[in-house]
């Protein structure tokens, strides 16, 4: 955690935040791969609606994966980088239900719930630690994703 004192944070806080960010990174990585699977395999009358929407989502997720990993590095820790580790800690599980549009959207909404809950936990932790960098990042993600949840729920008629 050599960066801690330079960026004005306590080493113990950086370690705690990095560990939580690695859990978030694992969940984003599984979410990303599930979304790619839906993009590749979607079938039916909603193909032309959902195929590009899923691509838009997985492009957004891969950017966040990179940003989270870079934040972990900024805090002086090492981001996890393999799926065997991700699958041990991720709450989001791999899905095989990727060709049905409604089920894919339901899986996406359930994945958003997981990452939103983790990001809110990180808001509390980073606020207490004075980690404005991570706090701001999580806040921005939450704002964007709440709108995504509304749109996907609207697609389902909810």
Cβ count near 68 (within 10 Å)? 23
What are the tokens at 41? Answer: 């395999």
Give residue-wise pLDDT tens across range 5-45.
789 999 999 999 999 999 999 999 999 999 999 999 999 99
Q: For residue 116, give Cα distances in angstroms to 28, 46, 55, 112.
A: 11, 27, 20, 6
Distance CA 102, CA 109 (A): 11
* Domains of the chain, each with CATH number or no CATH: 3-156 (1.20.1260.10)
Give residue-wise pLDDT tens across range 50-72.
999 999 999 999 999 999 999 99
Distance CA 59, CA 56 (A): 5
């Amino acid at each position: 955690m050599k960066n801690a004192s330079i960026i004005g944070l306590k080493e113990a806080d950086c370690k705690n935040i990095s560990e939580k960010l690695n859990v978030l990174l694992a969940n984003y990585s599984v979410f990303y791969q599930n979304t790619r699977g839906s993009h590749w395999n979607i079938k039916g009358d909603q193909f032309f609606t959902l195929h590009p929407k899923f691509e838009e989502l997985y492009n957004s997720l891969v950017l966040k994966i990179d940003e989270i990993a870079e934040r972990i590095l900024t805090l002086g820790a090492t981001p996890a980088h393999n799926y065997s580790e991700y699958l041990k800690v991720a709450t989001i599980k791999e899905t095989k239900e990727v060709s049905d549009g409604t089920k894919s959207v339901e899986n996406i909404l359930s994945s958003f719930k997981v990452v939103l809950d983790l990001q809110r936990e990180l808001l509390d932790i980073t606020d207490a630690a004075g980690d404005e960098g991570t706090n701001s990042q999580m806040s921005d993600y939450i704002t964007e994703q709440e709108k995504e949840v509304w749109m996907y729920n609207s697609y389902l008629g909810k």
